[in-house]
């Protein structure tokens, strides 16, 4: 059972479109080295998981939290701020689960590099409906190869 359960029969869940706007705002913080916003968008349940863009995978909130903090730690803020666009290719909802399939692209200041570096990922995220909002429960990201 999730850490966010429905109360009564009334659906008071924040609309998914609003959640996706908040996830995008959190992604902007993430590529500037701040994981706080994205951690708030995640469920803190034991069944959450990440297949990370760097090839690793983790399961459970404590490991996901560490992965998010470590991922954000690869980026830094500076005079030129990083940014990311999220182009949703497909999305759907069935019951208490939703998903998005997207391409994330932009640029970020990566620690150890003076100039912004491109960010290009294929991303699938799964969300679970809670008592008041949708929370991310799984993220699968991998590098998007540039077309020749």
Q: 15: left (phi > 0), else alpha (psi -120 to 50), else beta? A: beta
Digit-coded pLDDT (tens) for 50-91: 998 878 899 999 999 999 999 999 998 866 677 899 999 999
Token pair listed for 80: 């030129």
Digit-coded pLDDT (tens) for 106-141: 998 888 888 888 989 999 999 999 989 999 999 999
Question: What is d(CA 23, CA 41) in angstroms, rounded to the nearest whole number?
Answer: 7
Q: What is the pTM of this model?
A: 0.86
Query: For 42, which DSSP code?
Result: B
Please count the other Cβ atoms lying within 10 Å of the Cβ belonging to residue 145: 8
């Amino acid at each position: 059972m999730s850490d966010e359960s429905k109360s009564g029969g009334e659906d008071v869940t924040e609309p998914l479109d609003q959640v996706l706007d908040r996830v995008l705002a959190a992604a902007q913080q993430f590529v500037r080295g701040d994981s706080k916003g994205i951690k708030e968008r995640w469920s803190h349940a034991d069944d959450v998981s990440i297949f990370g863009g760097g090839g690793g995978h983790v399961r459970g909130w404590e490991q996901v939290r560490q992965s998010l903090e470590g991922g954000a730690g690869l980026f830094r803020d500076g005079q030129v701020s990083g940014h990311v666009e999220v182009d949703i290719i497909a999305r759907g909802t069935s019951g208490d689960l939703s998903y998005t399939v997207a391409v994330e692209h932009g640029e970020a200041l990566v620690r150890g590099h003076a100039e912004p570096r491109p960010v290009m990922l294929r991303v699938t995220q799964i969300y679970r409906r809670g008592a008041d909002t949708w929370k991310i429960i799984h993220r699968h990201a991998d590098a998007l190869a540039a077309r020749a």
